[in-house]
Amino acid sequence: MQGSGRTDSKVHALGQVAHFETTSTLPIGRIQQALNAQVPRSISVRACADVSMEFHACHSAIGKRYLYLLAVGPDRPVLRPGLVAWERHPLDLFAMREAAQFLLGHHDFAAFAARGGSTQTTTRHLRSLHIQRIRGGFMFSFAADGFLYRMVRNLVGSLLEVGKGRRAPEWVEAVLQGKDRSRGGVTASPEGLYLLRSLYLSNPFDSSFAEDKESLS
């Protein structure tokens, strides 16, 4: 079985995709039931589909979307343990949004890539980066043609430096252009990160993907 990508320990996936080959003649619905009977309770197989032999969960993907959820306040978010990251101090939303503008587009994101990645290039196209207030904190949403190892957590970590007032928004641009991971902010904690969706030219599960593809073009 091959997944669309790996996730670190304590990172969540709302829309992980995997493919496998089988000689089973069971109907798709029965295969989904059989898989759900075998996987741990922390995993739910939400859909199954027949695909061509050319389809590859990872290599056929044209992009991914991630969310990062951050609780902000003096009290630890005890009702959502392991499901959100936590920051005690207030954050400047507008400063973080200003910094985010420097990250959009085609760039070499080497400064935000952790060691241990296996990709041949550190250039990616960050199509969108939205930061918005939600009840009790902030939500960061990212869409790109691909992400480097721990790239989202490293981006969030640097944006938080700006949000706390420790760095000016232009500092993020300097880090990006410097291509030196040691100059960036610390890696944000894994609990707040969610793989929202892996994107394909043709979605094997439903027709709604066409809307997603158009919104990312």
**119-126: average pLDDT:** 92
Q: Is 8 known to be catalytic? A: yes
Q: What is the Rg, in whole angstroms, of the alpha carbon atoms belonging to the chain?
A: 19
SS (H, E, C) the chain: CEECCCCCCCCEECCCCEECCCCCCCCHHHHHHHHHHHCCCCCCCCCCCCCCCCCCCCCCEEEEEEEEEEEECCCCCCCCCCCCEEECCCCCHHHHHHHHHHHCEEEECHHHCCCCCCCCCCEEEEEEEEEEEECCEEEEEEEECCCCCCHHHHHHHHHHHHHCCCCCHHHHHHHHHHCCHHHCCCCCCHHHEEEEEEEECCCCCCCCHHHHHHHHC
With respect to residue 19, please indicate whether it lies within any of the assigned structural domains: no
pLDDT of the residue at 180: 95
Encode pLDDT of 158-212 as tens digits.
999 999 999 999 999 999 999 999 999 999 999 999 999 888 888 777 643 344 4
pLDDT tier for residue 213 given thresholds of 50, 70 and 90:
very low
Predicted local confidence at residue 216, as pLDDT: 43
Q: What is the pLDDT of residue 47?
A: 86
Share of the chain above pLDDT 70, in %: 93
What domain range is 130 assigned to?
Answer: 63-194
Considering the chain, what percentage of its residues have pLDDT values greater than 90? 57
pLDDT for 214 beyond 80: no
Residue 198, beta-bridge partner list:
64
Across the range 74-96, mean pLDDT stands at 94
Report how far residue 113's alpha carbon sits from residue 176's, in angstroms, rounded to the nearest whole number: 11
CB 12 within 8 A of CB 31: no
Mean pLDDT, rounded, of the chain:
89
Is 13 part of any domain? no
Strand pairing category for 61-72 and 12-13: unpaired
The answer as to whether 208 is a domain residue is: no
- Residue 212 pLDDT: 43
Q: What is the pLDDT of residue 117?
A: 65
The answer to whether residue 180 is domain-embedded is yes
Choose the catalytic residue: 8, 75, 108, 206: 8
Give the pLDDT confidence score for residue 37 in this predicted structure.
92
Query: Does 211 map to a domain?
Result: no
Which CATH number does the domain housing residue 149 bear? 3.30.70.660
pLDDT for residue 209: 39
Read off the pTM: 0.86
Q: Which of 15-29, 78-92, 138-152 has the lowest mean pLDDT?
A: 15-29
Domain for residue 104, yes or no?
Answer: yes
Q: Is residue 73 part of a domain?
A: yes
Q: 99 is written with which tokens?
A: 């910094």
Q: Which of 216, 67, 89, 93 is nearest to 159 (CA)?
A: 93
Query: 2-3 and 18-19 as β-strands: parallel, antiparallel, unpaired?
Result: antiparallel
Q: What total of structural domains would you count in the chain?
A: 1
Q: How far apart are CA 188 and CA 39, in angstroms?
A: 29
Residue type, 67: L
The pLDDT value given to residue 124: 97
Answer whether residue 46 is part of any domain.
no
Question: 42-49: which pairs have CB atoms within 8 A and are 24 or more residues apart?
Answer: 47/205, 47/206, 49/204, 49/205
